[in-house]
A and B are shown apart, each in its own frame.
Chain A
Amino acid sequence: MKNIADYLKEERSKDWRVALRKSMKAKERTARERTPMTEYDPEERSHSYVEVNLGFNEEQALVEATRCVDCANPTCITGCPVGINIPKFIKKIESKDYLGAAVVLKETNALPAVCGRVCPQEKQCELNCFYTVSLHKPAVSIGSLERFAADFERNSGKMAIPEIAESNGIKVAIVGSGPAGLSAAGDMAKLGYDVTVFEALHEIGGVLKYGIPEFRLPNEIVDVEIEVMRKMGVKFRTNFIVGRTASFDQLRAQGFEAFFLGSGAGLPRFMNIPGENYNGVFSANEYLTRVNLMHAASEEYDTPVFFGKKVAIIGGGNTAMDAVRTARRLGAERAMIVYRRSREEMPARAEEVKHALEEGIEFLNLNNPVEYFADENGHVNKMRLQKMELGEPDSSGRRRPLAIPGSEYDVDVDLVIVAVGTSPNPLLAKIIPGMDVTPWGTFKVNEETMQTAVPDMFAGGDIVRGGATVILAMGDGRKAAAGMHAYIQNKIKNKA
């Protein structure tokens, strides 16, 4: 294989890139301001399910693309977990070859339209952009450009179906259809394998479908990508829980040569404080699943959900932001984030916090619930909060929140959503003999191949990392596909 640095250099020295670089002075490029994303009006959007970010139009994309100076040492790439050739795709946009830009994205990222929308860019590619690092200016809007190219391709009706190697007839099973499973499935299909994705729920997509709301990631975008995979020959079986509907041994007997475990970290954690089992106290997973997967807010669907007027969400991550903004859209007059650390320490994407603030969400930072109270029917009506202060940094490097004694006070609520994290579902760990599981329930893998302690099983995404990100899950899926390929080819060689 060619050295990556050499490959990037070679690509950068192609005539079209050189010409494009010369077409505008670097000074002129860096003098331009970052193009803001056009957003739906906060007041209007907080009552509807429209997508908040409207995306760049062609003009905006072209202007933003010129900001990228096509660095000799494109540090942005080091910040991207799947190593997208960022300057190449941006320069494709600048030269108006939008479909070409999409092709570049798809070399390493199976779901660019998704990542352009949900990646924490400010902590990844954009954090490492030359603008951020050396100019101390707002980075090139890499995520928005990625989304632009992917959306352009989808709307053009000319979705490229990746090239597929000749079928080798070897069956592999993918457990779970979240981003980890989908990217592993895509890569295995490209290599010519006979791929079946098994999904426990009735919809494909994992968190992309049941967790992340449509105002941030419309389902249609995920569905289009799944359609492309079907065209690549990937089979999907919904309503199939591997380990229950059929055992791994049964699947082995059916000829599956290797497994990719991408079962995620779906088990919600609670705080175990008094009153947490009252009605009207949900896990974020339950609340979001009811609304997103089961369409509970729509009259036509049978699943019910509470429409709270005074809603508190406990937590400060993306899940908390999605839940609070959903509650707002379902009519909450008071929608509050309760988080035990300060605003700066919230793990949510910066953009989600900004959008939440614009939509009138209250932030009760440095507050922690200690107890809930209920009316005579057992429905929550009050939460007791305790104020916190920040102490010494803990092992994660963040300052440890400490309770301030005697600072408790009560707040009226009629809906509480607990979003304090999730753990891997213990099902697979329990039924797979020989699996090497950490005390947190995650699976140990070889970091190069993603192979687990059980030789024909590979794993990636949240089941390995705990709650992480879409792009990391996808990167794992790709790495695991390479690992599975090598493992199967090796097995065949040894048999011969």
Chain B
Amino acid sequence: MNKIVYKEFFSEKVAKIVLEAPEIAIARKPGHFVIVRVDEKGERIPLTIADADTNKGTITLIVQEVGVSSAKLIALKVGDSVADLVGPLGQATHIQKVGTVLCAGGGVGIAPLYPIVQGFKKAGNRVITVLAGRSKELVILRKEMKKYSDELVIMTDDGSLGKKGLVTAGMEEVIQREKVDEAIVIGPAIMMKFAALTTKKYDIPTQASLNTIMVDGTGMCGACRISVGGETKFVCIDGPEFDAHKVDFDEMLKRLGAYKSMEAKAYEKYLNSLNQ
């Protein structure tokens, strides 16, 4: 059992959760994720390890509520435990000194981007971070990102914070201004698709971290599979990061929506149960 030792809300739907997981704290690297099952009836959901403290034996997760499982998780209190936690999973981000790195995160993708921004900065790169969201509340981790970025650009659809516009506009501005050696994009599939098209125009090597639906997270089921350069890959063991210019984002978008109506129904039922 992994106990929650700290919890903080960044916004109504986004929380930082620190859990006891001493072995994972030691073993994890930026880009790794864990699978969490909140309770005995819960599903197994993947979440990026945003940070870790090897002395205290804890890992940090940043969770955005989008459906039942994420809602159940952020509803837990300090002192509660999750039923299951396993990891670290996935391939670590390939972090090295390349020069200038452009890190772009949108909505749900900002949390998993955080340890990567940290890693590239620590490796001695110039890091420019572009964060985007529909509105101000959805642009999380601004303070934390700022600490590890040489420059932080914020974009919102409604202009409630930073500049008004899409993430791609923010990225393009940076690219046109200075030489970018590598780009990392994490966010909703549709955002990654257009971000990848943007960097492709300028021939900038780009990694995307894919947030496909998973079950086991250990390579056993194929739920997370995706086409990369015409080949089927398992995101949980081959990824989660891939060459963004080769990922079939249209396929990924469809696969992400596979259970949409069931999920929506379940979420509604869950929310109703809270009001009873």
Contacts and interface: CB of A to CB of B under 8 A. Distances in A.
Contacts of B109: none
A372 to B, nearest CB: 13
Contact of B221 (A279, A286, A302, A304): A286
B60 to A, nearest CB: 17
A277 interface: yes
Contacts of B84: 202, 238-239
A268 B222 contact: yes
Interface string B245-264: 00000010011011100110
A427 B27 CA distance: 15
A300 B42 CA distance: 9
A246 interface: yes
B248 to A, nearest CB: 8
Interface residues of A, number: 40
A295 B218 CA distance: 19
Interface string B32-53: 0000010001111000000000
Contacts of A267: 219-220
Contacts of B83: 202
B181 interface: no
B221 A289 contact: yes
Interface in A266-312: 266-268, 270, 272, 276-280, 282-283, 285-286, 289-290, 294-295, 300-304
A244 B27 contact: yes
A268 B216 CA distance: 13
Given A302-B43, A303-B43, A378-B254, A272 B232 contact: yes
Interface stretch (B85-93, B129-137, B193-201): B85-93
A241 interface: yes
Interface in B66-89: 68-69, 83-89
22 contacts: A201-B86, A202-B37, A202-B44, A202-B83, A241-B87, A244-B89, A267-B220, A270-B232, A277-B226, A277-B232, A279-B258, A282-B222, A283-B222, A285-B221, A286-B222, A294-B43, A301-B42, A302-B41, A302-B43, A302-B68, A378-B257, A426-B237
Contact of A277 (B37, B43, B68, B255): B255
Contacts of A270: 222, 225, 232
Nearest to B270: A302
A155 interface: no
Contact of A286 (B68, B87, B215): B215
Nearest to B40: A301
Interface residues of B, number: 39
Interface of B: 23-24, 27, 37, 41-44, 68-69, 83-89, 215-216, 218-223, 225-227, 232, 237, 251, 254-255, 257-259, 262-263, 266
Contacts of A247: 27
Interface of B is mostly: mixed
Nearest to A268: B222
Given A277-B255, A286-B221, A201 B216 contact: yes
A245 interface: yes
Nearest to A243: B27
Nearest to B226: A277
Contacts of B41: 295, 300-302
Contacts of B222: 268, 270, 282-283, 285-286
A377 interface: yes
A378 B254 CA distance: 6
Interchain residue pairs A-B with the least CB separation, the first 4: A378-B254, A286-B221, A239-B86, A303-B43
Contacts of B259: 304
Contact of B87 (A245, A266, A282, A379): A245
A246 B219 contact: no
Given A277-B225, A286-B215, A378-B251, 19 more contacts: A201-B218, A238-B84, A245-B24, A245-B27, A245-B87, A268-B220, A268-B221, A268-B222, A278-B254, A283-B221, A286-B222, A290-B215, A301-B42, A301-B43, A302-B43, A304-B43, A304-B266, A425-B219, A427-B218
Contacts of B221: 268, 283, 285-286, 289
A239 B37 CA distance: 10
Interface in A361-380: 377-379
A295 B225 CA distance: 22
A426 B89 CA distance: 14
A241 B251 CA distance: 30
Given A240-B86, A425-B220, A302 B232 contact: no
Contacts of A303: 43-44, 215
A68 B205 CA distance: 72
B86 A241 contact: yes
Nearest to A202: B84
A276 B255 CA distance: 12
Contacts of B255: 277, 279, 378
B215 A239 contact: no
Given A277-B251, A279-B254, A302-B69, A244 B87 contact: yes
B232 A427 contact: no
Contacts of A279: 254-255, 257-258
Interface string A227-267: 00000000000111100111100000000000000000011
Contact of A377 (B85, B89, B237, B254): B254
